[in-house]
Amino acid sequence: MIDVEDLIALVRNYNPRTDADLIRRAYAYGREMHRGQLRHSGEEYFTHPVAVAAILTEQRLDDATIVTALLHDTIEDTKSTFAAISKLFSGEIAELVDGVTKLTNLQLSSTEAKQAENFRKLLIAMSKDLRVILVKLADRLHNMRTIKSLPPEKQVRKARETMDIFAPLAGRMGMQWMREELEDLSFRVLNPEGRSSIIRRFITLQRETGDVVHRITNDIRIELEKAGIEADVFGRAKKPYSIWRKMQEKNLAFSRLSDIYGFRVITGSEADCYRVLGVIHQRWRAVPGRFKDYISQPKNNGYRSIHTTVSGRDGKRVEVQIRTREMHEVAEAGVAAHWSYRDGVRAQNRFAVDPAKWITTLTERLEADDDHTEFLETVKLEMYSDQVFCFTPKGDVIQLPRGATPLDFAYAIHTRIGNSCVSAKVDGIRVPLWTRMKNGQSVEIITAEGQRPQASWIDIVVTGRAKAAIRKSLREEDKGRFVKLGHELARVAFDHVGKKATDKALRAAARRLGLPDETELLARLGSAELTARHVVETLYPELATLTPIEEVDAGRAVMGLAPDQRWRRAGCCQPVPGERIVGITYRGQGPVVHAIDCPALAEVEEQPERWVDLHWTAGRHAPVHTVSLNMTISNATGVLGRICTLIGEQKANISDLHFVDRKPDYYRIIVEVDLRDVEHLHNVMTALEAETDVAQIERYRDLSRKP
């Protein structure tokens, strides 16, 4: 673990004015808060926050960010609080630590709808203070570097989440080095054989051809010296994942890949960049269609560079990137360049762009979009896309992802232009709407009153903005007809399983599917975007055919106990499999298992020696875990019988029932139900909530039952 004085020395390398005492206090506080905690590898836990802080010093970040890294897990994993950090350090640091904690608590690898909603929250958190995501990315990078200590299934889940979310996010923020390392570390977990295969082929290629990188680097240097241009030249082989992705995209074998080497030329001025380009194109043949000028047309994240691919030695294609030193700083650090320090003052880099503008634009544009799937699709398209630059007839530049069409261009200008588009001219020539745009083309959109988007347009456009606008227009145009048809489809499907498609039932289904209301649910049924069977199974999953699964032995439902050690569930919180749990020991008996959020745990908060780390055994549990439900139901004939029947249909057993309050119109009852796990509980409560005669239902927790 890096010593505090060594960490301060790393900061002083770029910020001689650093507040060393602040870092020492944060280091000591973080170490004390994490005392006794260990990582999966067996190391002292505090080694992780220190490593994250060290990663951030490489990006020359300010003291507040370094301190946040040291404290980033204290609110979540220790007894520390927001108020304590605010008092001991500052409100700014407390806000940053709290922001990282909230990002950590987002389960980004869950279902698509939940993932989209969490992604929305992530973007909003980023827009408040970008240093939060810088700490989170460094946190994820160190976790991926040390991922081997995790169980295999957790490694895969974390690697997939990193590949889908954090790596492209790092790239979109201009931190390309971090994106490449995150991708490669994830690739090592997700496809170790594929990665090893790439590395073995590289070794074989190097043995056959020698050090190609060294030779080509020297060739470029010699040509630049002849032209009298001062510049630094660097070369490297591309990362295994980058090569693997290219092989998959182009469906090529390794032997047929050409541009597996990349070179950078760092110059002193922008004019020298174009002189270097001329020298390289004079010496080697340029590959058509592989030239990009991001100096005259920078990317949204501030990235500037000239990219060209040429045929080098032995006909091998190599990519050359040409940029100034200022541009290189932004290309390496991305958003961190906006916060970095040099010689004790905030570094001024005219090319550093705050990507909060991109985040704010994205969140504002999609703020009113209730369709979570479309939101996630749009975000991923924004993050993964490479870009082309096209011009309006007035000369304005429109940035689009690679593969975009004139329709995407029209929607990028305005939704109204896109909806009324009938044709387009590219460089003065009328072209089909499905034409793929190229860099530098001028596009004129031709519109007509009365034109409406067509269903086939969905397959033509590639941008999330265009897809969302087309779908919205199509839904609104025929919404009345779709709602009527959807209502009939729902009625038939519900009747088929002996249920009624009431407004309340449809409202409950819509809520569970992440839709705003039952009208939207019916519209999607009628337009075939949802199936009636899926809606029924969402409310009544127990009516679907289940594949028999061997049940977990009820006596071994909890892991983390000594052999033959007895345990019992706490009556106050009644934890069920799927919930986070902890054991509390009592003299002369086995531990009592509580849900991690049980209020009763506050009484033993100062007695950590009594806490036992427990978790539920993986698998399908027997329906023996009793949970109390507090229900208010109509006082009408047959209602109680229907409630009991409904619970039975969910394959749940009623072990007890008693009346708490009787009124002329309503009863309040406590029903004790035997369940398998938290999902079973959710299904039972959702089915009951959809029942018209159930006015209210909630989980009942009785603190008088605590041990």
Spacing of C-alpha 504 from chain mean position: 33
Closest Cα to residue 365, out of 351, 385, 379? 379
Distance from C-alpha of 67 to C-alpha of 76, rounded to nearest angstrom: 16
Catalytic residue among 19, 44, 77, 164: 77
Task: Determine whether 672 is an active site residue.
Answer: no
**How buried is residue 111: exposed, middle or buried, by Cβ count under 10 Å (0-12/13-18/19+)?**
exposed
Spatial distance between the Cα atoms of 197 and 205, rounded to a whole number of angstroms: 12
**Helix (H) / strand (E) containing 238:** none
Which residues lie below 8 Å from residue 306, measured CB to CB, with a gap of 6+? 273, 274, 277, 291, 292, 293, 294, 295, 321, 322, 323
Which residue matches tokens 């002996």?
498
Two structure tokens written together for 437: 């745009």
Three-state SS across 150-177?
A: CCHHHHHHHHHHHHHHHHHHHHHCCCHH
Strands 568-569 and 589-595: parallel
Does residue 465 contact residue 412 with C-beta atoms inside 8 Å? Answer: yes
Beta strands 429-431 and 551-552 are unpaired
Strands 620-621 and 615-616: unpaired
SS3 category, 142 = helix
Give the Å distances, CA to CA, from 24 to 3, 4, 21, 30, 67. 10, 6, 5, 10, 9
Show the DSSP H helices in 165-294 as ranges.
167-172, 176-190, 192-209, 212-226, 240-250, 270-283
DSSP-assigned beta bridge partners for residue 458: none
**How many CB atoms lie under 10 A from the CB of residue 576?**
23
Q: Are 359 and 33 in contact (CB under 8 A)?
A: no
Is there a catalytic annotation at residue 597?
A: no
With H, G, I as helix, E, B as strand and everything else as coil, classify residue 87. Answer: helix
Instruction: Identify the burial level of 480 via C-beta atoms within 10 angstroms of its C-beta, where 0-12 means exposed, 13-18 middle and 19 or more buried.
Output: exposed
Find the catalytic residue in 76, 332, 354, 551. 76
Catalytically active residues, by annotation: 76-77
